[in-house]
Amino acid sequence: MENALSDFQISLKNIQFISPKINKGLLLVFVVNGEITIEIDSRFYKLNEQDLLVINRNQLYQVQGNEHNYVLLLNISDAFMDHYYSEYRNIRFECFSQEVDMGREKMLNNIKKMLIELMLSNSRKGESYQIEMHSHICKILLILIRSFKQKGGAIEKLDTDDLRLKKIVDFMERNYQHVITLEDMASLSYLSTGYLSRYFKQKMGMGFSRFLNNIRLKHSVKDLLYTNDTISQISMKNGFANSKSFTNLFKEMYGVTPQIYRENNSKEQIDSFKNYQIEDVETLINSPEILTKLGDLLNQHDQSYRNAESQFEELRLDLSHSLNASLLRPRNILIIRELKELLKEDVRSQLLMVKDEMRLDYVGISNLLKGETITADVETDEIIATSSPYFKSDIALNFLQRNSLALFIKIEYQEITADEDKNFQKLYQFLRHCLQLYGASYLTSWRFLFYEPYHTAVEAKEIKRVYLKMRELLKKLIPNSQVGVFLPFSYKDEKLNKPHDWMLVDEEMIDFFGYDSNQNDMVDFQELNEDQFYSVKDYLKERTMKIKAFLKNHAIEKPLHLITWNTLSGNTRFTNGTFFRAALVLKSVLDIVDEVESIGFWINTALHEGESNGQRFQIEGLELFHYFSGKRPAYFAMVFAKKLNGIVIAKGSDYVMTKNDRGYQLVLMNCNTINPYFSIEETFLQKLNKEILVKIKGLEEGEYQIRKYVFDREHGALYTKWLSLNSKHGLDLEIIDYINRTSHPKLELFDETITDTWSFYSYLTVNAIHFFDMRKAIL
């Protein structure tokens, strides 16, 4: 079943022995059944079922297997590699399935999958099987090149077509334990000593003696790891003049003495099968049963790694220079529009979910005076009225107090001045009623925000008058109440407009400032110029810091409450749904946690649309729920924000690492601020995927359980599931319930023994979050 194509050979074999030989080309070894042991460069690799190993060009290897093994072998020629990949002779591939770094399992599984499909295509020999095989080979090589390549050495550069050089190197490999001099080698090769010296250095990149000693060192490692021989015995056995020269050369190459290397890397002793006289015992297999087993294995490896042209980054963290900064937690506001919404069971259940999973402190309401929460007085001839205008509000407030939730009340200038005397009286009576039922301590926890937008026709003295009147009423009833104003700050001009300048003069009458941040107002979504999107990528952070600096310049230091905000999302609910942006949400929150007292969210669009009266509705706030109670990405992003705990020991623009009493936590984010209308262009999005090699030095040594949460468009995005299950005949409760139950981040679990630097790979799609909870095991 061996493929006759000259560029590559694919075969399935039972291997008992393969005597030592220099590998030509690139050899991939995949054990389908049984086990084999391969010795390469004096190291033993024991491969069990479904293990994969790559043997590089010019590596000396030999194989021993058990009786019932089936091994799939793919050999790709030097000529093929040279033709398609110019760097081939300057690199090598480090790919052994038992030692693959965490995060690369899918890539490894995809290589195995392609190998099996190669074998099946070769077996079927259909009309286009050669094209199929060529395609699979290229996919395998792309994964190896992008994910497993390392800088090569002299052996990889060796030209195996140079028969004279190959013969010299082969002689050195087989006789390294004996005395070999440049003069002897020149005589055996019928060359002058000077010519051989120049020729060898030109071809191998190092001198003859150094190359020979490298071979001896390489073989000495096997004796250090797998035998009990003394250092002196090992030095003599491998051709060194004495143990001192062996020790010096070993330390120069490996950084430690042979004894320390042995102590740090000792392996279970294994019987060497080194015997250069043994004959090859390998048999080609052509069995329908084995092909059936390959088909079963193919189904096991159906989790493909989409090898797009992603970006590659390396993140190095040295915990010996940690930050040791506190992780602050702003309070959360969930805005539900009117207090009467709390009469709905689904709204209550959503509030309690938020409180339990992502923390909730305030419930935000508006339209207190002009809405339906406070009903009109009913005319009656009863001596004692049996109805109350506060019936609805009492039910809602009982629920809030019972669950330790406070109100964040937004009162607009236009709302209160529509009928000023009546509305102030209405507010006074409502608060007096609440004091009677719930007490001053509960109402002191409420926040009252006076609101008038940036673009207003009202004069400053009028806005100020109404605010001070409202403040006086509130302070008279609730002396310790917190009363603030909305700060209509211009990001572009870095100032307030004239109707609001009074706030800078009368700031002692203001307890806090509320503000908003919507970067969607800063860009034109129909423009193709991507620079404008890049310019607002840190808009929330920059706007917050500009406001802080502006207030500080006027000697004002007051708490800030972020009332409504958004990430870049587009200006329609349709784009808002298809553009996955969880990492943007989490990064924005982490950017400002030290600067604000609270952060506001909308419960869902449907409730807030009630204010639009059928007019076109603009999404200004960040929603936590879809209208059928599904959790939006912002919800899970904030769950991760709550889950992150401990002391911050490392932080960057797209990562945060903490240490706590259970171990460590690490959050990785792939933040991409792009035109959301491109979110339907899959090819464009794949170019924004990011692969990160993380290396962490200084972790406490020991056994760890690693919990990795993957939150991306495929794992947790509500709209992805919704669109895939949509039907022209509509959705019913069964489908909606399934979507809600399955739209969650993915959990992966690993056991790791950490002794030194811990490294792993993470492949993040656009705006994905990877959350690592590294819990130290108690043994």
pLDDT for 648 beyond 90: yes
pLDDT band at 275 (very low <50, low <70, confident <90, very high): very low
Mean pLDDT (whole number) for 56-63:
85
Instruction: Tally the C-alpha atoms within 13 A of residue 378's C-alpha that lie toward its C-beta.
Output: 13
**How far is it, in rounded angstroms, from Cα 618 to Cα 607?**
13
- Ordered by where they begin, the domains of the chain are 8-155+282-310 (2.60.120.280), 161-265 (1.10.10.60)
3-class SS string, 340-405: HHHHCHHHHHHHHHHHHHCCCCEEEECCCCCCCCCCCCCCCCCCCCCCCCCHHHHHHHHHHHHCCC
Q: Give strand pairing partners of 694.
A: 315, 760
pLDDT (0 to 100) of residue 43: 80
**How far is it, in rounded angstroms, from Cα 742 to Cα 725?**
12
**How far is it, in rounded angstroms, from Cα 769 to Cα 767?**
7
Pairing state of beta strands 149-151 and 447-451?
unpaired
- Whether the CB-CB separation of 415 and 369 falls below 8 Å is answered with yes
Amino acid at 480: N
% helix, strand, coil for the chain, step of 5 = 40, 25, 35
Q: Which residues contact 561 (CB under 8 A, 6 or more apart)?
A: 333, 408, 447, 449, 484, 512, 513, 514, 515, 596, 597, 598, 600
Of 606, 654, 599, 597, whose CA–CA distance to 626 is shortest? Answer: 606
pLDDT (0 to 100) of residue 278: 53
pLDDT band at 611 (very low <50, low <70, confident <90, very high): low
**How far is it, in rounded angstroms, from Cα 678 to Cα 578?**
10
pLDDT for 570 beyond 80: no
pLDDT digits (tens, 9 = 90+) for 76-92: 998 899 889 988 888 88
Of 108, 96, 58, 61, whose CA–CA distance to 78 is shortest? Answer: 58
**How far is it, in rounded angstroms, from Cα 429 to Cα 236?**
100
Instruction: Report which listed range, 83-97, 133-147, 392-406, 679-693, is most confident.
Output: 392-406
pLDDT digits (tens, 9 = 90+) for 223-260: 887 788 888 888 888 888 888 888 988 888 888 898 88
10 alpha-carbon distance from chain centroid: 36
> What DSSP state is assigned to residue 655?
E
Mean pLDDT (whole number) for 219-225:
81
pLDDT band at 154 (very low <50, low <70, confident <90, very high): low
Average pLDDT value over all residues in the chain: 85
Of the two residues 643 and 241, the one the predictor is more confident about is 643
pLDDT digits (tens, 9 = 90+) for 487-505: 999 998 999 989 999 999 9
pLDDT (0 to 100) of residue 188: 85
Of 710, 700, 674, whose CA–CA distance to 755 is shortest? Answer: 700
User: Exposed e or buried b for every residue in 460-482, given b needs 16+ CB within 10 A?
Assistant: beebbebbeebbebbeebbeebb
pLDDT (0 to 100) of residue 4: 41
Of the two residues 501 and 23, the one the predictor is more confident about is 501
pLDDT band at 418 (very low <50, low <70, confident <90, very high): very high
Of 38, 57, 39, whose CA–CA distance to 48 is shortest? Answer: 38
- Whether the CB-CB separation of 451 and 411 falls below 8 Å is answered with yes
pLDDT for 186 beyond 90: no
pLDDT (0 to 100) of residue 616: 46
pLDDT (0 to 100) of residue 158: 57
Q: Give strand pairing partners of 650.
A: 657
**How far is it, in rounded angstroms, from Cα 593 to Cα 48?**
50
Of 673, 650, 589, whose CA–CA distance to 772 is shortest? Answer: 650
Residue 76: CB atoms within 10 Å: 22
pLDDT band at 41 (very low <50, low <70, confident <90, very high): confident
**What proportion of the chain, given as a percentage, has pLDDT over 70?**
86
**How far is it, in rounded angstroms, from Cα 36 to Cα 48?**
7
Which range (244-248, 293-297, 307-311, 420-424) has the least confidence? 307-311
**How far is it, in rounded angstroms, from Cα 220 to Cα 209?**
16
pLDDT band at 374 (very low <50, low <70, confident <90, very high): confident
**How far is it, in rounded angstroms, from Cα 42 to Cα 59?**
11
**How far is it, in rounded angstroms, from Cα 409 to Cα 484?**
10
**How far is it, in rounded angstroms, from Cα 702 to Cα 217?**
31
pLDDT (0 to 100) of residue 677: 64
pLDDT (0 to 100) of residue 564: 93
Helix (H) or strand (E) holding 433: helix 420-438
Residue labelled with tokens 């656009």: 766
End-to-end CA distance of the chain: 51
Mean pLDDT (whole number) for 367-371:
87
pLDDT band at 517 (very low <50, low <70, confident <90, very high): very high
> What DSSP state is assigned to residue 580?
-
Tokens standing for residue 386: 């049996």
Instruction: Reduce the DSSP state of residue 34 to 3 states and report it.
Output: coil
- Whether the CB-CB separation of 12 and 1 falls below 8 Å is answered with yes
Output phi, psi for 614, to 5 deg. Answer: 85, -5
- Whether the CB-CB separation of 361 and 406 falls below 8 Å is answered with yes
pLDDT (0 to 100) of residue 573: 47
Tokens standing for residue 548: 């802080």
Of the two residues 541 and 724, the one the predictor is more confident about is 541
pLDDT (0 to 100) of residue 2: 45
Which range (498-502, 672-676, 775-779) has the least confidence? 672-676
Instruction: Report which listed range, 96-110, 644-658, 710-724, 737-751, is most confident.
Output: 644-658
**How far is it, in rounded angstroms, from Cα 45 to Cα 97?**
10
pLDDT (0 to 100) of residue 68: 84
Tokens standing for residue 17: 């022995």
Q: Which residues contact 226 (CB under 8 A, 6 or more apart)?
A: 44, 267, 269, 270, 272
pLDDT digits (tens, 9 = 90+) for 713-730: 889 888 777 777 877 787
Task: Give the CA angle between residues 558, 560, 561 to the nearest 5°.
Answer: 145
The size of the chain, in residues, is 779
Output phi, psi for 19, to 5 deg. Answer: -70, 160
pLDDT (0 to 100) of residue 287: 64
- Whether the CB-CB separation of 448 and 411 falls below 8 Å is answered with yes
User: Exposed e or buried b for every residue in 270-298, given b needs 16+ CB within 10 A?
Assistant: eeeeeeeeeeeebeebeeeebbeebeebb
Of the two residues 290 and 681, the one the predictor is more confident about is 290
Q: Which residue intervals of 176-302 are DSSP H helices?
A: 182-188, 193-204, 208-226, 231-237, 243-254, 258-265, 288-300
pLDDT for 203 beyond 80: no
- Whether the CB-CB separation of 641 and 358 falls below 8 Å is answered with yes
In angstroms and rounded to an integer, the radius of gyration of the C-alpha atoms of the chain is: 35
Residue 700: CB atoms within 10 Å: 12
